[in-house]
Amino acid sequence: MSAQVKLESDGVRLAFYNERMKRRLLVLDGIDLTVFTGELVAIVGPSGCGKSTFLSAVDGLVKTDAGSIKVDGHAVTAPGPDRAVVFQQDSLFPWYTVMRNVTYGLELQRRLSKAEIAERGATLIELVGLTGFAEHYPHELSGGMRQRVNIARALAPDPELLLLDEPFAALDAQTREFMQSELLNILARAKKTALFITHQIDEAVFLADRVAVFSARPARVKEIVTVDLPSQRGLDVKLNQRFRELHDYLWRSIQEEAVRTPIAIGAS
């Protein structure tokens, strides 16, 4: 049986108008990308090439000029419950507990009873390894714990596709590595498909089933590299010779693009 397509981007083009330059700047120039159900696909590329812009287009936050984006065969025209985004900063409400932060979106939807919302929240808090912290406030948590809450909140409406925009960039190096391993465990247990933006090549290789390399802006998919490492990965896989080979190959590919990347204006 062939793998089921979860996300399909076909010829996506997008330009922004730059007020200072008085002209439109092309950011995405025909992005073709397919993500299959259950995959984590990482996107890497030179700084300012349009990675985060593409993620915003997938979420429906920005309108494309040409091409199409589909999730489960349905065209993306606006944000929807089938997609959820995790950003660099945790963006939690400081006046709400962990439980209230996780279930806030469910409360707004008003589709579940209070008991069902509480049950869903408790399940997600356990899923991200925060059992016992449901009544804590964000200021009482570490950076890594706050991002776990952020991930749990994104998973609360049970989205089909999780969009992660450098979610660990603000963490220290040790916590970042630990959270990479935790994310794989969370996604495996939640059975989710994910699109992951990162500037860290080793993070992309560790997390991804495949890595899409974006060209210099205006971005196209330069190549897609299959990460042929064991699907069950511990942090020790980073000592693997094949891991280093993949890392070095991707680094060279990005470096080729970085030397011809124009100054980034309004794209990342």
pLDDT tens, residue order, the chain (268 aa): 457 999 999 999 999 877 776 778 899 999 999 999 999 999 999 988 899 999 999 999 999 999 999 999 999 999 999 999 998 887 899 999 999 999 998 888 777 889 999 999 999 999 999 999 999 999 999 999 999 999 999 999 999 999 999 999 989 999 999 999 999 999 999 999 999 999 999 999 999 999 999 999 899 999 999 999 988 888 899 999 999 999 999 999 999 988 765 544 444 5
**All domains of the chain in start order, with CATH:** 5-82+159-258 (3.40.50.300), 93-158 (no CATH)
The Cα–Cα gap between 195 and 164 comes to 6
Using DSSP bridges, classify how beta strands 221-226 and 210-214 pair: parallel, antiparallel or unpaired. Answer: antiparallel
Residue 149 CB partners (closer than 8 Å, separation 6+): 90, 92, 98, 101, 102, 128, 130, 138, 141
Question: Taking the complete model, does pTM exceed 0.75, yes or no?
Answer: yes
Centroid of chain to Cα 94? 23
User: In the numeric block, which tokens belong to residue 98?
Assistant: 């962990």
